[in-house]
Amino acid sequence: MMDRVPVLKLGDILIVSIQIDLQDQSVLALQEDLADQVVATGARGVIIDITAVEIVDSFIGRMLATIAAISRMLDAETVVVGMRPAVAITLVELGLSLGGVRTALNLEKGVALLNHLDGAQIVTAAQ
Amino acid sequence: MMDRVPVLKLGDILIVSIQIDLQDQSVLALQEDLADQVVATGARGVIIDITAVEIVDSFIGRMLATIAAISRMLDAETVVVGMRPAVAITLVELGLSLGGVRTALNLEKGVALLNHLDGAQIVTAAQ
């Protein structure tokens, strides 16, 4: 199984959970799938969950920045959620910035951030 | 990277997207993580996305049924979403039932189903 990273849709938001070790091929596929889905669904926000990612190198960092840039061009904001403390430390130590990618602690805070950015309610989570 | 399948929380719902080839070890870890999270968060629903799963065998089928049984004991309903047509066909051909696990077409419909089951609105997706 597992050729492509699935893109989930909830209201105006697309959710991607990165779990597999991404190779060049699958990164390109994910960027394409996300761009297609943003256009097809008219999504206003993209949330990328990296809870499962233990090591962020420049390759992953670039991918996140590229996805954010593509989405922005298609009128959707990107928020990266679930960054582990160790990953944040590594990023800073390596001097890697995420190129203007917004981050939030977890999925709920990411959704709240997108709602705030968009001005309108996209998805509301009660309690 | 990738030791455990991440469990995302949105409102009263926990969301798990199965992407890696699960071995015995990781299935046990996922069942434990989910049970812990259901109790810790008081979640009322668990959504398991299998969009990325191309082949469902009796091993995966049993895992889904077990997760649903554990969650139900902890007062949370489980919905499996994103089943591919080929997977549904295989399940029927193999005579595998998912042991009372509810299914929905996609994440949005899964959320709607959980809201319906619960009587109250858990998460609302506008538009």
Nearest CA distance, A99 vs chain B (angstrom): 23
User: Does any domain span residue B127?
Assistant: no
Give the whole-angstrom CA distance, residue A103 versus residue A68: 11
| ipTM for the whole complex | 0.73
The tens digit of pLDDT for each residue in A106-119 reads 999 999 999 888 76
Residue A1 lies inside a defined structural domain of this protein? no
**Domain range for residue A19?**
7-118
Indicate whether A123 belongs to any domain. no
Cα–Cα distances (Å) from B89 to A85, B17, B59, B80, in that order, read: 43, 21, 16, 16
Segments of chain A with pLDDT less than 50: 1, 121, 125-127
Q: Is residue B87 part of a domain?
A: yes
Amino acid A92: pLDDT: 82
Is position B126 within any domain? no
Give the count of domains, chain B: 1
pLDDT on residue B78 = 94
Query: How distant, in Å, are the alpha carbons of A8, B53, B59, B66 from that of B71?
Result: 22, 21, 18, 8
Phi, psi (deg, nearest 5) at residue A56: -105, 115
Q: A17: nearest CA in chain B?
A: B17
Does residue B108 lie within any of the structural domains? yes
CB contact under 8 A, A8 and B107: yes
Q: Is the pLDDT of residue B124 over 60?
A: no
Task: Identify any residues that bridge with A123 across adjacent strands, giving them in sequence order.
Answer: B125
- Per-residue pLDDT band for B79 (boundaries 50, 70, 90) equals very high
A54 contacts on B by Cβ (under 8 Å): 1-3
User: In this structure, what CATH number is given to the domain that contains residue B64?
Assistant: 3.30.750.24
Q: Which residues from B are below 8 Å from A126, CB to CB?
A: 11-12, 120-124
For residue A81, being part of any structural domain is answered with: yes
Which has the closest alpha carbon to A80: A89, A67, A92?
A67
Q: B121 with B10: CB under 8 angstroms?
A: no
Chain B residues with beta carbon closer than 8 angstroms to that of A11: 108, 125-127
For residue A57, give the chain B residue with the closest CA: B1
- Please, are residues A121 and B126 in contact by the beta-carbon 8 Å criterion? yes
**Smallest Cα distance from B112 to chain A, Å:** 11
